[in-house]
Amino acid sequence: FVDVTFDTEENYEKAKALMNIMAEEFKVLGTYKNAKK
């Protein structure tokens, strides 16, 4: 399991697309807005 944060939603979408290509199995368990911002 990996917990990751991103500065922008665009960066999140890019990372998700890359992980779908590179990983044998990739599953997002949840997405949350950062309340600290």
- Report pLDDT digits (tens) over 1-37: 888 999 999 999 999 999 999 999 999 998 988 877 5
The residues, any chain, with a CB within 8 Å of residue 11's CB and separated by 6 or more, are: none
Greatest distance between any 2 Cα atoms in the chain: 33
pTM: 0.70
Beta carbons within 8 Å of 20's beta carbon, 6+ residues apart:
26
Q: What is the per-residue pLDDT for 33? A: 85
The two three-digit tokens of residue 14, written as one number:
């890019």
15, 21, 23, 36 from 32: Cα distances, Å: 16, 23, 22, 12
